[in-house]
Amino acid sequence: MHLAFFLLLFNYVRSFEYVELRTRIGEVRGRKNNYGAEFLGIPYAKVDDGRPFGNSLPYPYFEAPFEASNPSTRCPQVGRVIGGTQQCLTLNIYVPANANATQTVPVVVWFHGGGFKIGSAGEYGGKHLTQHGIIVVTVNYRLGPYGFLCLDEEVPGNQGLKDQVTALKWVQANIGDFGGDKSKVTIGGQSYGGGAVDLHMYSSDVKLFDKVIIQSGSMYAEGAFVKSDLNAAIKLSGQLGCSTNNTKDALKCLATRDSLTVVKAAKDIGLKLGACKEKIMNGSENFITQDPFHLNFVKRDDVAVLIGHNSNENFARFANQSEEFYERLANVFREKFVNNFVLSENDLDQLSNNTQAFYLGKNGSLTAKELREFNVQLSDFSSDFMLNYPVEWSIKNYLRKGLKKIYKYVFSYTGGSPFKDVPGVGAYHTEELQYLFETDEQGNSDEQQLLRKRMTSMWAYFVKFGNPTPSRTDLLPVAWVPVTESTQPYLNIDVEMKMLDNLFESRMKYWADFWSQHWMKNIILS
């Protein structure tokens, strides 16, 4: 059945115009809006209540019309929002008016960020992008211990990433009924969602998409990939009063506990949860079975990549902070190395001193007042270590594997920033999202609307054609040039659009040299 046909069948109910769509999973009832229609909270799989940390189950056929009008579903989490439900494997579909089963349009599937601990699909409304004639799908996936326990028995790990694969398979099977072209599917994500996209490039599900968008993310981002803790379930069940030394018994105990209680307990005991190297076991499906330093690239060099980050990712952490904040920082350089590497005391001292001298131009201990004066430089260091160089590393990997269409950017616009008047201001982590999606932060000045038109136009062009600037226009006056192994052009996204070269060149060289010498001492490999 054509979506365009059903757009004629709306009935006014509580100020909404509804649209009913017959699909191969049953009848789905969505809502019309001023750019097309939206189908919110559609389940793409079901969590097994008896084994909530294991494989998901297929969701049954809709015997009665499914009311797809609730975007608020989220997986259990404890953070800026506390809540969620165990049955959280849902997705939201935003459809332009011109899409139907015979006139299909390209699709972008979005994986939210949040450190694999928080976030939800409903935080990313697709209105702005859908107006450019593409379908937007935003996906919930299991978080925290439900998505990222890495054990050696029935839960090998990466269940949240496997949920994403299940959602992509659902898109391949069903998006045509909503007017989507399953042969033109882009996957995108920001922060750890971007790191997940990076990892998908190394998994067997690469056949499920043909383009990727990675915003402020990489599998090398600090904490995105962790060393497996085979005793995590035992520790977690012990925290909740189930004393056992057996993983299966621990999982049985945890399956009977309230999901929010389990998530909070994982936070309280400081479990490090993220993507991991899975063990290969009989009867289990694996997502990845190597660490990021040894992953084998799936041989497909025709995937187009749009990748980048913001101009000062960690600026929000350091801006306008008190001296007390800097007193608590202690030796921020040494702390980073201690948390991420297995190094001798002499190496720790040397690397900490060298890195401080490189970023601050000073050796020796500094007072809180002195550190505060270096807030921009400290933000540069933190941003480079946690994210900027990891993004460069991912790009280098793609180039070595023969990818030809890699479009690199830095988002520098700060006109909508709460820190726009702070000296040394840069665009901080997540700041670009409001110019792509409907989010809680929505500035509407003329300048911000211009940035939104530019961003959504380029991203939609990329989803459609694999080229974010297929032609020059008044809105997009610059041709975005892909990177190569010998050149490093990038688009600076700001009020004035510019192609520049060699982003943060000396800083990136510093970390390239550092990692070439010390990658084998990373804690993941210890």
- pLDDT reading at 84 higher than 80: yes
Beta strands of 179-265 (E only): which ranges? 180-190, 211-215
Residue in 399, 217, 391, 219 with CA at minimum distance from that of residue 292: 219
pLDDT at residue number 2: 45
- pLDDT reading at 15 higher than 90: no
- pLDDT reading at 10 higher than 50: no
One-letter amino acid at 516 equals S
Question: Within 13 Å of residue 305, how many CA atoms lie on the same side as its CB?
Answer: 35
pLDDT at residue number 379: 97
421 CA to centre of own chain:
29
| Structural domains of the chain, ranges and CATH numbers in brackets | 39-300 (3.40.50.1820), 309-525 (3.40.50.1820)
- pLDDT reading at 188 higher than 60: yes
pLDDT at residue number 441: 73
User: Where is pLDDT greater, at 330 or 311?
Assistant: 311
**pTM across the whole model:** 0.95
Q: Quote helix, strand, coil % in the chain, to nearest 5.
A: 35, 20, 45
Helix (H) or strand (E) holding 174: helix 159-174
- pLDDT reading at 117 higher than 90: yes
Concatenated DSSP letters of 70-131? ------SEESSSEE--S---EEEEEEETT-BTTB-EEEEEEE--STTTS--GGGSB-HHHHT
pLDDT at residue number 519: 96
pLDDT at residue number 279: 87
C-alpha distances in Å from residue 263, one per residue of 112, 258, 273, 409: 18, 9, 11, 36
Q: Are strands 36-43 and 62-67 parallel, antiparallel or unpaired?
A: unpaired
446 burial class (0-12, 13-18, 19+ CB within 10 angstroms)? exposed
Contacts of 379 (CB under 8 A, 6+ apart): 312, 314, 315, 317, 318, 319, 426
- pLDDT reading at 138 higher than 90: yes
* Packed helices 259-268 and 232-239: angle between N→C axes, nearest 10 degrees: 110
Contacts of 312 (CB under 8 A, 6+ apart): 376, 379, 380, 383, 424, 425, 426, 427, 428
Confidence of residue 6 (pLDDT cuts 50, 70, 90): very low
Residues β-bridged to residue 334: none
- pLDDT reading at 3 higher than 90: no
Distance CA 385, CA 359 (A): 12
Residue in 120, 137, 159, 149 with CA at minimum distance from that of residue 208: 137
pLDDT at residue number 154: 79
One-letter amino acid at 332 equals V
Tell me the average pLDDT of the chain.
Answer: 93
- pLDDT reading at 105 higher than 80: yes
pLDDT at residue number 329: 86
Mean pLDDT along residues 269-288:
90
- For the ranges 15-19, 123-127, 451-455, 508-512, the lowest mean pLDDT is seen at 15-19
Contacts of 228 (CB under 8 A, 6+ apart): 150, 151, 152, 157, 276, 277, 279
- pLDDT reading at 12 higher than 60: no
pLDDT digits (tens, 9 = 90+) for 219-236: 999 999 999 999 999 999
pLDDT at residue number 16: 63
Residues β-bridged to residue 108: 136, 186
Is residue 64 within 8 Å of 101, Cβ to Cβ?
no
Sign of CA dihedral 342, 347, 353, 358: negative
pLDDT at residue number 281: 78
Query: Residues of the chain with pLDDT > 70: what percent?
Result: 96
pLDDT digits (tens, 9 = 90+) for 323-332: 899 998 878 9
Sign of CA dihedral 27, 33, 36, 40: negative
One-letter amino acid at 395 equals I
507 CA to centre of own chain:
24
Distance CA 285, CA 137 (A): 25
pLDDT at residue number 205: 84
Largest separation between any pair of C-alpha atoms in the chain: 73
455 CA to centre of own chain:
18
Confidence of residue 46 (pLDDT cuts 50, 70, 90): very high
pLDDT at residue number 14: 42
- pLDDT reading at 1 higher than 50: no
Q: Are strands 135-139 and 90-96 parallel, antiparallel or unpaired?
A: antiparallel
pLDDT digits (tens, 9 = 90+) for 435-490: 999 987 777 899 999 999 999 999 999 999 999 999 999 999 999 999 999 999 99
pLDDT digits (tens, 9 = 90+) for 148-187: 999 987 799 999 999 999 999 999 999 999 999 999 999 9
pLDDT at residue number 299: 67
Distance CA 460, CA 335 (A): 41
Supply 94's token pair.
Answer: 């935003």
